[in-house]
A = this chain, B = another copy of it.
Amino acid sequence: MPISRLIDMEDFQPIPEREKHEEFLRKVMEILFESVVFKARSDKVVLWQTPEKLKEMFDFSLMQSGETHEKLLLLLKKTIKYSVKTGHPYFINQLFSGLDPYGLAGQWLTDALNASVYTYEVAPVFTLMEDALIREACKMIGPMWQDGIFCPGGSTANGIAINLARFNKFPEVKKTGCFKLPPLKVFTSEECHYSISKFSSFVGIGDENVELIETDNIGQMKIENLLKKIEETIQEGNIPLVVVATLGTTVRGAFDPINEIADICKKHNMWLHIDAAWGGGLIFSPKHRAKLNGIERANSIVINPHKLLAVPQQCSLLLIKDKDILHSCHSKEAEYLFQKDKHYDRKYDHGDKYLQCGRKCDVFKFWFMWKAKGSAGFANHIDALMEVAEYLEEQIHKRAEFMMVSKRQYMNVCFWYIPRYLRGKSHILDYATQLHKVAPQIKAIMVTHGSVMLNYQPLQDLPNFFRFVSQNSGLGKKDIDYILDHISEIGDMLFE
């Protein structure tokens, strides 16, 4: 066989400028180690600049000719300097925070291999790794669970689930679209994630066909209201298609009553999708797993390991009970990619199960973290976070200047800081209007000082409140005291 000739490539040109490039990349790594990866606490969360100011300070321009390595390294440092340190324990602004070293190692490897995961042929290890991880995740949900895909975020995963629900009931829509169907209705909590509405518009269902179900005083979907709306839908001659239940709502961290919802879905022959993007990580914690009871009764579930489990951005897993529907709903059998005369078993080519074609590998970082920590490691992470959340709730109750918005169910602790002049005055006419202005002002000071990034928002008729989410394993009880003191001090200063 003459083929071995090709493998020894010594007589071909070496990688051009290898030394120069290696030296550069090593400098980049040193900067990352020094200024990002292990910097965390000793830095501000953000060195705040207004957009207008930052535009003046930073050379964003793109030119005809390139820059020197020296200039490039400066730009890199400046990018780091003015970026938010999302690994910092005081980055409490979103549903992710922290930087896991194994996850980061996984990302760096993924980048170096620069794979696109559509066929076994071009991504053999990652393909089997996805199989193994999805199988394991399914097993944690229940014995009937059989399939899954990685998605570019929980929003897309929710959208795909809604389309699967439609395909399940009306397989012809894949061909004909939904022009000839009566309106299909999506039922979800009024505290659901906005992607339900966004993707209902995108898939051609329309957001007015998303029926928002009332929630109770801790944010859970009210079953009687769900029942009522489904019955109204049927009476109107429309089709109740799917209930999207949430386990861990974005703002309050509420858990919808899955078993009761599953009964209703069964009765009305509706798809049950569970948006557990935020709450789903609890499958790893024997101590808190009960919050997900009934999850196995769903048809599809989204879990974002990049949220609770601190896997790097992005890692979003859509799990499906049915073994075949992903393929039958999405496949198009493109002949240039999924050739029928391959030299290996085509069942390992999962690309056609996906909506995407080229797809960044999101499995390795998660698989590698899991391998490094074990399921027990994720459980410890979760249990420690929950203790911090409990402690925070206690402190809020203890301190006169703070008030809980509603009872905590998860990592989300939603509370108001009440300025001295408003304490005990909830009966006065413009109490809510006054309170509404408080959190944004405190936040503005924290962010411009770079001390803490903590989210606030209104909810229905509730005025602006802080949402504290414990999710960074670097955050301890001492930090809680510190941050509450900090808010108090700013409040005293602002509203005295």
Contact = CB atoms under 8 A, between A and B. Distances in A.
Interface residues of A, number: 195
A138 B113 CA distance: 31
B360 A314 contact: yes
A1 B493 contact: yes
24 contacts: A6-B486, A7-B451, A9-B41, A49-B124, A51-B348, A60-B128, A66-B373, A66-B376, A67-B371, A72-B372, A86-B115, A86-B122, A99-B112, A115-B313, A155-B355, A174-B206, A176-B183, A177-B184, A177-B200, A179-B183, A199-B355, A202-B355, A313-B361, A343-B444
A235 interface: no
Given A3-B445, A51-B348, A64-B375, A115 B202 contact: no
Contact of A205 (B108, B115, B181, B204): B204
A202 B203 contact: yes
Interface string A430-448: 0000000100100111111
A403 interface: no
A484 B270 CA distance: 57
A180 B193 CA distance: 27
A2 B174 contact: no
A38 interface: yes
Nearest to A362: B360
Contacts of A364: 79
Contacts of A86: 113-116, 122
Given A115-B86, A201-B174, A355 B28 contact: no
B72 A450 contact: no
Contacts of A400: none
A305 interface: no
A109 to B, nearest CB: 6
A479 interface: yes
Interface string A372-410: 111111000000000000000000000000000000000
